[in-house]
Structure 1
């Protein structure tokens, strides 16, 4: 009799495990299907890649609705206020600065791309060709200016204070042996100055807009390594959604070889897939 009861106990336990597993699969499928997610983007620059991701997610029952903004502050506020669900197109450095300043309780859930800065010139074909006293245009936005100076340091043209971090200023230059002159310009105007300066530091997106190919047209391109990790673009969500299965599915679908191929084809080096180098998040 006891053996009979033991046999049925095992049957019941196995059945519960099976039912639980099926239930879990059903729950997971339910929670990641038939969902509309509002994704904030700055401008339309990232749309070609995100639209490709959206097509693949549509087959999984997830619909992406894109909400575009004109600057980088508005989408952060919208995400904080719950008017959008995710925000892409912001660098890790800017995100962390905003989070701390506004006590926003937002989290990064995935790396997307990095847009390397480049040094371009219409007059010279190589760094060694730049003459002493050359004028170099540099974006005047503080973070990008500091990034530009670090770019020139990595190229061996100048040196900045060791403790200036990722935001050195022109006053932090400690060595400028070739007496380069620097002309501060609006980031969006950097490409337009190429006719009037010897070289110009240009953001990846503005280089692309000016039909410049970073890999072919720059005389020096920012190295993508641990020093440039703060400039990786991320996908941000509210803290409560850190482990949201729908958002995890979106990140997983974005971080695929298919997406990388679209990035490479669309931006030709102006943007580079970040997750192969810097990890998923």
Structure 2
């Protein structure tokens, strides 16, 4: 807490005005911003905290801004992404409380279940290292493919042990996945991105709150994780009111994992 200089009133007693502690948090999308704004208006005042959101247009700059101490923390990434950033940017980062999972699902317009997926069906998934791994694992968890055992950290199509339906898996840039929904049998995409695209297809299978590997967390520089304002926000991100807000706001597209 910071205190202004005492001001003498008519009665001669000193009064002090409490200043809020400000934490600047980087985000890359409206859904992260909305969660932080809810905390800022509904929960942070009781903790003497003010959450200022700093928006970035890509997923690299929020970590560079952390390194330069332009912001105090960021809220947009899961631990696999963070671990990759640590190596590529040569920056020491710390992941704190897990908060939410932007669920990945199997989406299509005509089929009703994975049992209806025909032989030689075409599916589109993202081609980046992390989302490619995530998409292939979701196909496997829904019984559409089998992956080799004891495989490396991130799986690729080379790690497919069995493909009983002879799926033709097309890999494209992440932003192109949703656009392909009319050209393939089904897609593997973020449920929130599908909703934002104005598409309401049938979901055949989706990640659950148990799939915490790709859950988002508050991230800061190593050595700053115990700063009071960072710990305050870290605690508030796991408040039951935040869980209720996420459930109501996103209707299963984003899930609280705490």
- TM-score class, shorter-chain normalisation, is 0.7 to 0.9
Say yes or no: does 1:202 pair with 2:189: yes
Equivalent position to 2:80, from 75, 87, 93: 93
Partner SS, residue 50 of structure 2:
strand
Report how far residue 185 of structure 1 moved.
2.0
User: Can you give the 5+ residue segments of structure 1 that lack an aligned partner in the other structure?
Assistant: 1-31, 276-281
1:82 aligns to what?
69
Structure 2: distance between partners of 1:257 and 1:266: 14
Equivalent position to 2:207, from 222, 229, 236: 222
Say yes or no: does 1:115 pair with 2:102: yes
Structure 2: distance between partners of 1:100 and 1:35: 32
Say yes or no: does 1:175 pair with 2:162: yes
Q: Is the 8 A contact 2:110 2:202 kept in 1?
A: no
Say yes or no: does 1:152 pair with 2:135: no
With 162-171 and 138-147 compared, the bigger mean Cα shift is at 162-171
**1:201-235 per-position Cα deviation (integer Å, ceiling 9, x unaligned):** 0123312312457xx9311112443xx33311110
Report how far residue 248 of structure 1 moved.
1.2
Question: What do you get for the CA RMSD once the two structures are aligned?
Answer: 1.9
Structure 2: distance between partners of 1:256 and 1:89: 18
Report how far residue 96 of structure 1 moved.
1.6
Partner SS, residue 46 of structure 1:
helix
Q: TM-score, normalised by structure 1?
A: 0.80
Equivalent position to 1:40, from 6, 10, 26: 26
Q: TM-score, normalised by structure 2?
A: 0.87
Q: Is the 8 A contact 1:48 1:266 kept in 2?
A: no
Report how far residue 186 of structure 1 moved.
2.0
Partner SS, residue 31 of structure 2:
coil
Dislocated runs of 4+, deviation >6 Å: none
Structure 2: distance between partners of 1:33 and 1:114: 34
1:67 aligns to what?
54
Query: How many aligned residue pairs are there?
Result: 240
Q: Is the 8 A contact 1:113 1:271 kept in 2?
A: yes
1:54 aligns to what?
40
Say yes or no: does 1:134 pair with 2:121: yes
1:190 aligns to what?
177
Q: Is the 8 A contact 1:108 1:237 kept in 2?
A: yes
Partner SS, residue 133 of structure 1:
coil
Give 1 or 2 for the bigger CA radius of gyration.
1
2:9 aligns to what?
none
Report how far residue 158 of structure 1 moved.
0.6
Of Structure 1 and Structure 2, the greater helix share is in 1
1:248 aligns to what?
231
Q: In 2 relative to 1, CA 165–209 (structure 1 residues): closer, same or farther, beyond 3 Å?
A: farther
